[in-house]
Every structure is written in C-alpha cells, then in structure tokens.
Amino acid sequence: MDFQPIADHFGITGVIAHAEEIHSGNINRTYLVAVQEANTQKEYVFQRINTFVFKKPEEVMDNILKVTEHIKKKLLATHGCYDRRVLSFLVGVDGKPYYYAAGNRHFWRVYEYIDRAVAYDQVVKPELFYEAGRSFGEFQGWLSDFPAQTLAEIIPNFHNTPARFEAFRRSVEADTVGRRIQVEDEIRFLLDREAECGVLTEKLASGEIPYRVTHNDTKINNILFDNHTDKAMCVIDLDTVMPGTALYDFGDAVRYGASTALEDERDLSKVSIDLHLYEQFTKGFLESMGDSLTAAEIALLPHSVKIMALELASRFLTDYLDGDVYFKTRSDDHNLVRARTQIRLVRDIEAKWTELRAITARYC
C-alpha cells in the first residue's frame, strides 16, 4: 500500500521506512507507519475510517478534534504538558483532520503513535480495572464543562434502550427465520424488564441527569497503559464520542470488564458479576470524577450496569431472530449464546443488588 500521498497531505517529511497493519479493533483498518528523517525515526498511526459504519467521517473527526483539543487545554493548565495522555491528530495541508482519496473514496486520518504503551483485552488483575475506572472517570471529568450537545450524534439512538427494545419487539413479532419458538423464555425474561430500560433516557430527557460527552465503547482495550508501571495513560478509539450520559460509559465498562466470563460463554455457571472488580472500577471512576457527578447520577450507577446488559441482550436476541444479519457469528447459535450470557449476568446483578448499592455508597 502506498502511504506516501497520505503522508504528504499531512505534512510528514522524510522517507517511509516501515509500515505494518495493526489487527486489534474490528471497525477501521489501522497501520503503524515509521518515517525516517535524517537520523531520527518517528512513528505514526495511519487509519482508514470505515465509512460503512461511520457514514459521516467529517463529523466523526470534528467531534474527536473538539474533544481532544479540550482535554489538551486542561492538561496544559494542570500539568504543563499532555504527552502520552491524549491522542494527537494531524491536520492536513488543507486544514482538515482527514485525507480523502478520491480514487477509491477512502477517508484517512493520522495521529502520533504513543510509545511504551500496552492495551489489554481482558482484566488480567484487579488493579488494572481500578486504573480503567480512574481513566474513564478522568476522561469524563476533563470534559465535564464541555457543551456536549454541540457534538454530532454519530450513531443515532446508539444507547437508546427503549428504541432497542422496540426493535426487539418488532423482530419477535416478525419471526423472520422461524426461531422464536426456541427462545420464548429469553423473550419473556427481557420483556418482563422492559419498563426498567427507559430509566436513563427518561431522566436525560427530563433534565434530572445532565447530558455529557460520552465515549460509548468503554472496554478496557480502549485504554493505553504504561508498559512499565501499568498505570492508565490515555483513552483511545474516540469514533463514537457524542452526547449522552456518563452512566452509559460506566455501565458498559462494568458490564464487560467485571463479568467473570466472555460474552459468548456457553457454560452459564461461569457467568457472574465480580463484586471486587465492580468495587475497583467504581472506586477509580468516582475518585477521578470528584464532584462532577450529581447525586442522581451516582444513585443510578448500579442501574446502568443492568440496563446496559439488558440492552445488549436485546440486541443479540434481535439479531438471532432476524437471522444473524448484524453481528459477526461463528456458529448458528452464536447470537443466542451471547444473549443468554447477558441474561445470566442480569440475573446475577439482581441477586447481588444490595451489595452493588452498598459498594457504590461506600465511594460517594
């Protein structure tokens, strides 16, 4: 692949010495590119934006630049530098933070590579989840005074759980591929809890909780850790930054990171919410956000984990009923296995509800 036109567009001088694809991440095509200039070599990340998923890449980049520049100002004011703490995107010779290759209609962006860093796909030790909570809380705290509703909504209704359940109901009624008879128990479980799923959207609409800048993909692998100290440094993968509630980020991070099993675990006896990991993340998150969270938001932290698990269960089961048209699958029942895993997680959250609330109160 010829990266030179992209490098030229972003004013990168020197000779491209090496380029290799980075295979982590499921959406964009990502390459680590080393550029040699005189006796120095500098590394960049070249990323081709997936325009099938992100229909308006210009808005994606506008959101990202607004947010990262805001964070840089905060870091400069408090620490005097922002090195390795926030992504730094290059701006092209035309003043735009992307390069459009008209020949193949590809959109590219480039940012400076953050060295001496590692990302983890799973929580391999509790201290990492504390650091993840601290990092995502810090991200929210830096942006607590940012006017969130000036950002574009990159994926409309992404965490609108009532809308997700409405789509689920339509799929249940349509029963396109005749699978409903196999999942009546799962359908009933979700519909019995449908009334709970509107809590966050209703309180946002009423103003009881504020709109904030949300990351919307708060898995632990979207944080870079220092490869020597394992301290969280930088939140990455900002494509879905948009207006929402901090509870989306908290709930989804815990739903994924504090689960004792993978999202497609077939042995449901292995699936539960790890209270120690919940405590580690909550402690880090609340310590970093300080007084930024309102009392109403804090009270809803445990609810957010349950709601995010219910939302994802409904999405997996919707796709199963529709014939597996959205999520990639490795077997005919892959989406059903995923849905059952989230349902089992919800059951365990309900069983441990008193403990979850007590842990949350401990760190308020």
95 and 156 fall within a common domain: no
Q: Is residue 249 part of a domain?
A: yes
Cα distances (Å, whole numbers) of residue 249 to 130, 255, 301, 325: 15, 10, 10, 26
Cα distances (Å, whole numbers) of residue 26 to 68, 169, 271: 22, 28, 24
Q: Which run of H or E residues covers position 62?
A: helix 57-79
Q: Is 119 in a helix, a strand, or coil?
A: coil
* Per-residue pLDDT at 14: 87
Residues 14, 7: Cα–Cα separation, whole Å: 9
* Per-residue pLDDT at 214: 95
Q: Is residue 270 part of a domain?
A: yes
Residue 302 in tokens = 């445990």
* Per-residue pLDDT at 343: 98
Residues 30, 3: Cα–Cα separation, whole Å: 12
Number of structural domains in the chain: 2
204 and 278 fall within a common domain: yes
Phi and psi torsions of 117, nearest 5°: -135, 155
Helices (H), the chain: 4-9, 57-79, 126-142, 161-174, 184-192, 199-206, 246-257, 275-289, 295-299, 301-322, 334-351, 353-362
> Residue for token digits 């004013």?
11
Out of 84, 115, 146, a domain closes at 115
* Per-residue pLDDT at 104: 83
pLDDT < 70: residue spans in the chain: 25-26
141 and 242 fall within a common domain: yes
107 and 205 fall within a common domain: no
DSSP conformation class of 10: T
87 and 141 fall within a common domain: no
> Residue for token digits 């394992």?
230
The range of the structural domain enclosing residue 205 comes to: 126-362
104 and 157 fall within a common domain: no
196 and 279 fall within a common domain: yes
Residue 174 in tokens = 């349509």
Out of 94, 115, 136, a domain closes at 115
* Per-residue pLDDT at 22: 87
159 and 288 fall within a common domain: yes
Q: Is residue 144 part of a domain?
A: yes
Residue 222 in tokens = 């979207």
Report the CATH number that the domain containing residue 203 is assigned in CATH: 3.90.1200.10
Residues 276, 283: Cα–Cα separation, whole Å: 10
Q: Is residue 120 part of a domain?
A: no
* Per-residue pLDDT at 244: 96
R_g over Cα of the chain: 21
* Per-residue pLDDT at 56: 95
Name beta bridge partners: 115: none
Q: How many residues does the chain have?
A: 364
pTM (2 d.p.): 0.93
* Per-residue pLDDT at 55: 92
Out of 58, 81, 115, a domain closes at 115
Phi and psi torsions of 226, nearest 5°: -60, 130
Neighbouring CB atoms inside 10 A of 39's CB total 5
CB environment 166-179: b (16+ within 10 A), e (fewer): ebbeebbeeeeeeb
Cα distances (Å, whole numbers) of residue 261 to 123, 127, 258: 11, 18, 9
Report the CATH number that the domain containing residue 45 is assigned in CATH: 3.30.200.20
Nearest residue to 246 via CA among 357, 324, 136, 361: 136
181 and 330 fall within a common domain: yes
DSSP conformation class of 56: -
* Per-residue pLDDT at 102: 85
106 and 131 fall within a common domain: no
Q: Is residue 358 part of a domain?
A: yes
Question: Phi-psi bin for 44: left (phi > 0), alpha (psi -120 to 50), beta?
Answer: beta
Nearest residue to 112 via CA among 34, 59, 229: 34
148 and 198 fall within a common domain: yes
> Residue 243 in contact with residue 159, Cβ under 8 Å?
no
DSSP letter string over 305-361? HHHHHHHHHHHHHHHHHHTS-SS--SSTTHHHHHHHHHHHHHHHHHHTHHHHHHHHH
198 and 227 fall within a common domain: yes
Q: Is residue 51 part of a domain?
A: yes
Q: Is residue 261 part of a domain?
A: yes
